[in-house]
Amino acid sequence: MASLRACPTTTTTTPLLPRSFFTYRAPAQLNNARHNPWLKSAVDWKRRRRSLVCSCTTANGEVGGTVVEEEGEGEGQDGYLARGFGWGVRRMVVVGEEMRMVANVQAEAFHEPVPLFNDFFLDFFRAEVLSALMYRLRNSAPDRYACLVAESVDWSNSLIAPELVGVVDVTVQGDGDVLRHLKGTKEYLYVSGIAVLIKYRRRKVATVLLEACDVVSRRWGFKHLALRAYEEDSAARKLYAKAGYAVVASDPHWVTWFGKKRRVLMIKTFHSPSSTCRSSS
C-alpha cells in the first residue's frame, strides 16, 4: 500500500490536544459552524448520517461493481462519493470520535511491531498520526486536502451504525519530481496513507477508496493523480494498476544502502478531462 509518510505535508511536531477538545457536544462547535462553511458541512453530514442509519433505505448497485457520485460539488444524495461491494466512501467528519477512528486505522496499518513494549509504541504512533491529521486539517483549505473514509453499508440492518474500515488522504501538490512526468501541469492530486483494517482486506475496500479519489480529482479540477508504492509490494501495485495507475519512475538503488525500501511512482491520467481540469494554460 502507499506509504503513510510519503506525503510531505505530514508532520508530527504539533502537540496532541486533550481528549475533551474533540467533544462533538460542545456548543462552541455549533456556533462556529455558522461562520465556518467547512465545519458546517461536517455538522450537517453528522446529522444526515444519523438519520440515514435510522431509516430503511435500499441501496442500488452495491454488489458487483462501484457506483460513483458525479452530481454537484458535494457528496451524492446518500452522502457517499463512491459506493460498491457493501462499502461507501465519504469525506471524514471533523469531530473527535471519527478523527480518532481514522488515526487508529492508519496506525494499525502502518505500525511495525517491536519485540518489547509493542502496545506502548503503538499508542505513541497512534497519537502521532492523530496529531499529523489535525495539522493537515488546520493548515489546508477544504479543496486542497481531504481525508476520505470507507465504512460498511449494511442496509439489511439500518439500526446498526456503519463501521469505519478504511482511510485514504488526498492532497493537492506540485512536487517537481512528479511534475517532470506531467508536461504542461502545475499541480496534481496526491494519494497517500491508504489503509484498511486487517480483517477487511481483500474485500474491495481499497478499490472503492480509489474510486472516491477519482471523484475528488474531477470535482477539484485535476487531470492527474499520483501515488507511491513499495517496489516489492506486488499486491498493492496490482491493485493500483487495475485502478488505472502506471509506473513512471522508481527510487534509485542507493536508497537501499540506508535500509530503506525502494518505491515506485505511479500516475493516473484522465484522458478525457472536463473543461474544469487545471493545467499550466
Residue 193 phi, psi dihedral angles, 5° rounding? 65, 25
What's residue 92's pLDDT? 96
Q: Where are the domains of the chain?
A: 34-56+78-269
- For the domain 34-56+78-269, what is the CATH code? 3.40.630.30
What's residue 244's pLDDT? 98
| Out of 87-91, 128-132, 169-173, 219-223, least confident range | 128-132
Q: Give pTM, 2 decimals.
A: 0.72
* Burial degree of 119 (CB within 10 A; 0-12, 13-18, 19+): exposed
Average pLDDT over residues 180-204: 95
- pLDDT winner (highest mean) among 104-118, 200-214, 263-277: 200-214
Whether the predicted pLDDT of 227 surpasses 50 = yes
- A 10 A CB-CB count for 77 gives 10
Per-residue pLDDT of 241-262, as tens digits, reads 999 999 999 999 999 999 899 9
Selecting among 80, 145, 240, 245, the annotated active-site residue is 240
Is 230 among the residues known to form the active site?
Answer: no
How far, in whole angstroms, is CA 241 from its chain's centroid?
Answer: 18
Please, which pLDDT band fits residue 24 given cuts at 50, 70 and 90? Answer: very low
Average pLDDT of the chain is: 77
Q: Which residues pair with 196 in a beta bridge?
A: 166
Helix boundaries (H) for 74-154: 96-110, 118-139
Please, which pLDDT band fits residue 82 given cuts at 50, 70 and 90? Answer: very high
Whether the predicted pLDDT of 266 surpasses 60 = yes
* Identity of the amino acid at 144: R
